[in-house]
Chain A
């Protein structure tokens, strides 16, 4: 029997795995899809929220503020790019002052440091490109940005380094109570473990409801986004929120750690937990609202659009901790925004709770340090020359838009919990995330995946399942033998 099974390979699941690997425990993580960071964790706003937004007293408020404080240390240990670029909640027009004041007070009550309201002059000094009707703003000094999939990846790699086993394409289809623990039936086999942690994101209701009478329900809330070319990296410095109005919650305009600009999201409750389509209406809405913040959005410079689903819980809050009627079954359910910010705190909280209940000893060999794949684009000439002399694949630039080399792509596949698909490579290296959106590098990335995984081009996928690139060979393989 294992000690802990974690269900879900998003930022929370991988975070819990990493924090639990500080203890002498036998841990496995089961991920439904072909890759970790494949749900909410890959398609969100990538913001480290200050914590002014959640209602005081909620778990969201508590863990947001705790998580925010942990980010610098975690990112340093795990070598994850992040930046405290500050957040601004901007009111457009003079009527917003009372609302800003309310947010400020709420933030103070939640324990958020570094909040203040800034006027027109200060706002324009900080953000010269802000829309002409911007009036004043709440400045959130602790606000930041982070790469969410690198964060998830880093957690997973560090967990794997410290002994956690990862199973992918391991959708959980049933959980049963057994003597001394739980039996977890998955598409990758049946496991028994003393404790189970539910980090299943959009499906955390399904998993919880398999074992507990304390039912919850998760509504997928879709958000649609645009990404603008990194030519506009300096358009805005802070992450700029709009003060919610009667017209809606407003649209965020924010730089990303990768230098692009993100516009979004919408918020639309839908029925289908797999429906990550973008829609004409949703995308139009993003532009309409974003243009308040950014009046001259460079429409010819969008590089992509996407949508993500938030796991909105009917309880309007995170569901954290042991289920009341299912001992040793732990929930991290309904973790939506500010879930990414809260993840380090949730992971630590659950790991400590579980370790305590299992009376686990510390793992003396635990190594908290994970190094990212050395990025050619960030090296100076000396470092580049050295990298190439050690590994000549560093001289082979595959993705021209983002300057990603063959060495980085190969390493992304070879690493623990490595890439298995073109999108997996993309999230780990940024190959294909630039302005040509993989037009040039796809054929080469497909070849490298074939070489590393010993598969045929017919088996390479964009993101697992039937998302294949190649339908057939032009010529029958058989002829080669006849020759």
Chain B
């Protein structure tokens, strides 16, 4: 399978093309520096993203901002968002507090990114 990605290492935004066999990279072309090569290897095998989201706080319309404690697999972003939207928290909440453990079985937690008294 041929996959194409854009490098985010710098504003060059090199188009990197790779031939894959499952998770195995057969060849990579188009990168112009080592940052690009490294980025492509990660991005092509198991791409991950930090996810930030909004969570319901009981008794108010104003949301709690939250994030994943570590990057999660890109393919799980929407499952993760869904799980967050199924939860709510009670006040007070503090920055760094874990509000959901082990989101979507990823072993990554969801933590609050602001204080709500």
Contact = CB atoms under 8 A, between A and B. Distances in A.
Direct contact of A and B (CB under 8 A): yes
B63 A483 contact: no
Interface in A289-325: none
Interface in B41-91: 54, 56, 58-61, 63, 88, 90
A480 B58 contact: yes
A43 to B, nearest CB: 35
Nearest to B61: A473
B59 A483 contact: yes
Nearest to A482: B58
Interface string A470-483: 00011100011001
A474 B59 contact: no
Contacts of A474: 54, 56, 61, 63
A483 B61 contact: no
Interface residues of B, number: 9
A479 B88 contact: yes
Nearest to B58: A483
Contacts of B90: 483
A269 to B, nearest CB: 48
Contacts of B54: 474
B19 to A, nearest CB: 42
Nearest to B57: A475
A479 B90 CA distance: 11
Nearest to B88: A479
Nearest to B85: A475
Contacts of B63: 474-475
Of the four ranges (under 10, 10 to 19, 20 to 34, 35 or more), the interface on chain A belongs to: under 10
A479 B89 CA distance: 11
Chain B residues touching A, majority SS: loop
B89 to A, nearest CB: 10
A82 to B, nearest CB: 43
A479 B61 contact: no
A411 to B, nearest CB: 26
Nearest to A476: B56
Nearest to A457: B61
Most buried by A among B54, B60, B61, B90: B61
Interface string A451-483: 000000000000000000000011100011001
Interface in B4-46: none
A475 B88 CA distance: 10
Contacts of A473: 61
Interface in A415-468: none
Given A483-B88, A483-B90, A475 B59 contact: no
A479 B58 CA distance: 7
B82 to A, nearest CB: 14
Nearest to A456: B61
Contacts of B58: 479-480, 483
A483 B59 CA distance: 7
A437 B21 CA distance: 54
A154 B88 CA distance: 49
B12 to A, nearest CB: 31
A475 B90 CA distance: 14
B85 to A, nearest CB: 8
Nearest to A477: B61
A204 B51 CA distance: 58
Contacts of A480: 58-60
Contacts of A475: 56, 61, 63, 88
A73 to B, nearest CB: 50
Residue of B54, B58, B90 contacting most chain A CB atoms (<10 Å): B58
Interface in B70-117: 88, 90
Interface in A64-123: none
Nearest to B56: A475
A199 B56 CA distance: 51
A149 to B, nearest CB: 33
A458 B59 CA distance: 18
Residue among A473, A475, A480 with the highest chain B CB neighbour number at 10 A: A475
Given A479-B56, A480-B58, 17 more contacts: A473-B61, A474-B54, A474-B56, A474-B61, A474-B63, A475-B56, A475-B61, A475-B63, A475-B88, A479-B58, A479-B88, A480-B59, A480-B60, A483-B58, A483-B59, A483-B88, A483-B90
Interface of A: 473-475, 479-480, 483
7 contacts: A474-B63, A479-B58, A480-B59, A480-B60, A483-B58, A483-B88, A483-B90
Complex A-B, nearest 4 residue pairs according to Cβ-Cβ distance, in ascending order: A483-B58, A475-B56, A480-B59, A479-B88
